[in-house]
Structure 1
Amino acid sequence: MPESSSRRKPSKKEAPVRPTIVGDEQEENPTWYKVTMFGFMIVGLIWILTFYISSARFPLGSATPIDLSNWNILIGFGIAMVGFVMTTKWK
């Protein structure tokens, strides 16, 4: 009766070949990018906290020539959202 051929085990030196796409390099972001990203998030938070703690007087509330009243909340969230959108490009 004929014997079946045995399976060869792959040698340990062979690394799996992964396809590479030109321009798809995983480089880390520069330091300024991270600082800017977290800075936007913190500035947005501080803007909203300042609005609430000052009872709607600051940053652009009733105590200033430009009264944006509750639009300050939208401005604060907008600034913070810029930071959150930047996280999508963070490596």
Structure 2
Amino acid sequence: MPKSRSDRKKKAVYTPPPAAQKPKVTPRWVVPAFITFGLLGILWIGVYYIAGSMVPYMQELGQWNLGIGFGGIIIAVILSTQWR
């Protein structure tokens, strides 16, 4: 006896996708650290340009003050990539 058309077109059984992995959690220290480094870097550069001649240790560092300020900003940007 020939098979009916409904028997030929059996649908595949639904299989749910595998369980999702746990979402990654940001460590608690990341956000305060990157905000602190960013603000300190900006403040360091600002103080250097506004009152650098009045602060003794800033006079001795000279242009290294820019390196210190931008270093803080760069560290803040690197830490911000760890924020999820």
- Tell whether the structures are fold-level matches, with TM greater than 0.5: yes
**TM-score (structure 1 length as normaliser):** 0.64
Structure 1 residue ranges (4+ consecutive) displaced by more than 4 angstroms after TM superposition:
none
CA distance in 2 between counterparts of 1:59 and 1:82 reads: 26
* Offset from partner CA, 1:12-71 (integer Å, 9 cap, x none): xx5311575xxx7512321x32111111011001101111122x3247323xxxx11111
RMSD: 3.0
| Conserved? CA contact 1:47–1:59, under 8 Å | no
**1:10: how far off?**
5.7
**Percentage of matched positions with identical amino acids:** 24
Structure with the higher helix share, 1 or 2: 2
- Structure 1 unmatched runs, 5+: none
Which ranges in structure 2 are unaligned for 5 or more consecutive residues? none
Higher RCO (C-alpha under 8 Å, 6+ residues apart): 2
Between the aligned partners of 2:32 and 2:56, the Cα distance in structure 1 is: 23
